[in-house]
Amino acid sequence: MHIEFFVEEESAEAFLQGLVPKVISEGNSFFVHVFQGKRDLLGHLPARLKGYRNWLPVDWRIAVLVDEDRQDCKRLKAELEAAARGAGFATKTSLDQRGQFVVLNRVAIEELEAWYFGDVEALVKAYPGVPPTLDRKEKYREPDAIPGGTWETLERVLQRAGYFPAGLPKMEVARKMAPLMDPQRNRSKSFQHFVAGLRAFLEPSEPTPVKPF
């Protein structure tokens, strides 16, 4: 199995490079395509998927990951699903007649940085100045519901711990965090949905044939 990832920024690529090998079994492969922000990804997604539809091998899959960014999550997910359906692909939400799918659409709520708060143990390993009891505080108990922007909140937490006084380097944090994270213990629901979707790609089944229009 090979998975093509579409992401909106380089920090998401850095994160996936460290995380995905923990999720997909050895012998499978992946590649991450980076767009110039969410608007660029959403704008090019329909045409890009239609292009893939004409040649995608039967053992290839596509995963699209975007940040919620305080948008309406349901509307954003519906836009992703419409792009896939318009290209003729079954998705995790709308399976084909055999219960299979080619495209996985996932939204990080509200941003990728929320997933770091979902694994405080990894956050403390990466940045030992962070309190190991951080996830016991009410504000951080539900990673997907942290108010005020998760990357801004992460920046403040790390700065209070003595890191990055000049601002949060998202790429550096992504590269450091991903290898330390344990997919099983992450408390973010959107993270768990993402991981479950990737694993569903690899469930034993007949390949889904992708025929050109």
Q: What is the pLDDT of residues 138-152, one digit of tens each?
A: 999 999 999 888 999
The residues, ordered by sequence, that sit 6+ positions from 5 with a Cβ below 8 Å of its Cβ are: 13, 16, 20, 30, 31, 32, 33, 62, 63, 64, 65
Q: What percent of the chain has pLDDT over 90?
A: 85
pTM for the full predicted model: 0.92
Residue 14 has pLDDT above 90, yes or no: yes
Domain boundaries, the chain: 2-111+189-201, 113-180
Confidence category of residue 135, pLDDT binned at 50, 70, 90: very high
For 37, list phi and psi in degrees, rounded to 5.
100, 170
- The predicted pLDDT at position 71 comes to 83
Q: What is the pLDDT of residues 39-70, one digit of tens each?
A: 999 999 999 999 999 999 999 999 999 999 88
| Mean pLDDT computed over 182-190 | 95
Q: Are strands 2-7 and 29-34 parallel, antiparallel or unpaired?
A: parallel
Place of tokens 């229009």: 213
Q: What is the pLDDT of residues 102-125, one digit of tens each?
A: 999 999 998 999 999 999 999 999
CA dihedral (68, 74, 80, 86) in degrees, to 10, reads -170
Fold classified for 2-111+189-201: Rossmann fold (3.40.50)
- The predicted pLDDT at position 33 comes to 98
Give the angle subtended at the CA of 146 by the CAs of 143 and 152, to the nearest 5°. 110
| Mean pLDDT computed over 161-181 | 97
Confidence category of residue 98, pLDDT binned at 50, 70, 90: confident
- The predicted pLDDT at position 204 comes to 57
Give the angle subtended at the CA of 71 by the CAs of 156 and 31, to the nearest 5°. 80
Residue 211 has pLDDT above 50, yes or no: no
